[in-house]
Structure 1
Amino acid sequence: MKAELILLYIFCLLSFGCGNDKTVGDATDTETTSQKRAITTHAIENLKYTDYVLSNTGEQAVASWDNYQELAIQIGYLKKADISFFNGDKELLKKFVAEFKIGLPEDLNTNPILSRMAMVETSVLKLHDDLTLDNIPDENKLQSVKEVIVAFSNFNYQINKKLERDKFDQISSEY
């Protein structure tokens, strides 16, 4: 009788143990799929932030700055949930950011703009790290996407503000 109970117990353990392996594999596949779906166009559209675009004067000021144009395009793709640029090789991303900083037009080289540029750099590199690490929750990844968009928007705002201030300084007083 004891031998039958022991055999029944071993049989139950083996049958439950085999079933758990398949369930764990399915759960892992589901987790991977849900992480890929976490950053969607709909999720990004639902983010609350103020989006500043460049004025006509700002567009003219950065027209010859190729790296700015490329980053603006990539931010546009990011808003559509295309994260391939920010999810690629970190060395290439660092090289792009370094060239972005070097290419700053001389008339935009002011401390406020440089500080916003540093924020863009930091948020882009943080987004890359969050996207490439597996243990980062989806909410944090989405928050990092928002930080990149907001940093770039604030960078645009600072460029507009600087150019507007320059224009105001050129107006001479009639008195």
Structure 2
Amino acid sequence: MTMVRVLLVVSFLVLVACDENAKSNERDETVKSQDLTKINAKAIESLNYTDYALSEDAETIVNPWEKYQELTIQINYLKKGDLSFFNGDKALLVDFIKEFKDNIPESLQTRPISSRVTLLETFILKLNDDLTLSNIKVEDKLESIKAVLESFSNLNFQINKKLERDLFDSIKPE
């Protein structure tokens, strides 16, 4: 008789636990689907990528590069969920990118940095297309945002790498 009671209690606990898991899963899926219906700061923060910052030497070199400073501000707005710069008029974006590329400081005009700038240009234009078209899924828009953030981060990494390489080249053996 006690064995039957133990089995009944265990069965009851299993049923209650399964019901709680099902409710928890439903809540998680509801939250995820709500996050995927709109692009906000929380959705952008959840993107997984490596974010490189500029070194102090690199900050000094890019400080007079106005378009880089403006792009940094717009990338920070993008991280906060403000898409206005990237979903605006494409012609303005193309003009901005052209000026950005034309005003690269002389010391940073190398092939690796130029290729990172070209990738950044490509991903910015793709993001603009994805944001302005209404038939693009939110997941695809988030992937485009991630691509822009990654390409900007990689540009920063390449600038740091170039300056580090220049520093090591300037050190002469005794």
TM-score band, normalised by the shorter chain?
0.7 to 0.9
Report Cα offsets for 1:50-82 as digits up to 9, x if no partner: 000100000001010000000000000000000
* Structure 1 Cα separation of the partners of residues 67 and 39 of structure 2: 25
* Structure 1 Cα separation of the partners of residues 35 and 49 of structure 2: 23
Structure 2 counterpart of 1:167: 167
Following superposition of structure 1 onto structure 2, how do residues 14-93 of structure 1 map, counting pairs within 5 Å?
A: 38-93=38-93
Aligned length: 141
Structure 2 counterpart of 1:143: 143
* Structure 2 Cα separation of the partners of residues 115 and 95 of structure 1: 18
Instruction: Compute the displacement of 1:39 (Å).
Output: 1.1
Give 5+ residue unaligned stretches, structure 2: 1-33
Runs of 4+ in 1 over 4 A off after TM superposition: 34-37
Q: Contact 1:38 / 1:142 at 8 angstroms: preserved in 2?
A: no
Instruction: Compute the displacement of 1:38 (Å).
Output: 1.7
Instruction: Compute the displacement of 1:36 (Å).
Output: 9.9
Q: Contact 2:36 / 2:139 at 8 angstroms: preserved in 1?
A: no
Tell me the secondary structure at the aligned position of residue 172 of structure 1. Answer: coil
Structure 2 counterpart of 1:125: 125
TM-score (norm 1): 0.78
Q: Contact 1:120 / 1:148 at 8 angstroms: preserved in 2?
A: yes
Structure 2 counterpart of 1:100: 100
TM-score (norm 2): 0.79
Give 5+ residue unaligned stretches, structure 1: 1-33
Identity of aligned residues (%): 58
- Output the aligned Cα RMSD: 1.4
